[in-house]
Amino acid sequence: MTDLTIDTAPTEEPSNRPLSERVVDAVAEAEGVDPVALEPIYAAIEPDALDSLFAPQLAMDEVPDASAEVRFRYHGYRVRVTATGKVTLDSGHETSSKTQ
């Protein structure tokens, strides 16, 4: 199994992009396709619930609890989203790993 770690946590400025959009973008990048070519994320998880789950933690100046996470399947990937905004994709295939 290979984990593709796509770090979507803001580095310099806070990101206003919802987590659900960041998940779609990460999967699209891993697949090498445009995000609109993917199945809608709501087929895997309620996007509003995902977006609101960690929003208060991501908006705070404090470091969010990195142990809080959500896992679900989307477009053939096992997706893990942490409270810090990190998105990890596990394709389940034996390939080289990619970290961003």
Quickly list DSSP for 59-71: HSSSPP-TT-EEE
Residue 30 lies in a domain: yes
Q: Work out how many domains the chain is built from and give that number.
A: 1
Residues 50/70, Cβ–Cβ less than 8 Å: yes
Residue type, 98: K
Q: Could you tell me the two tokens for 48?
A: 């509003």
Q: Could you report the per-residue pLDDT of 9-59, keeping only the tens digit for each?
A: 444 444 678 889 999 999 999 999 999 999 999 999 999 999 888 776 555
* Least confident span in 68-72, 74-78, 88-92: 88-92
Instruction: Supply the pLDDT for residue 67.
Output: 77
Residue type, 35: P
Q: Could you tell me the pLDDT band of residue 3, with boundaries at 50, 70 and 90?
A: low
Going by the DSSP 8-state scheme, the letter that residue 39 receives in this structure is P
Residue 100 lies in a domain: no
Residue 84 lies in a domain: yes
Neighbours of 87 (CB within 10 A): 24
Residue type, 7: D
Residue 95 lies in a domain: no
pTM of the full structure: 0.74
The parent domain of residue 68 ranges over 3-90
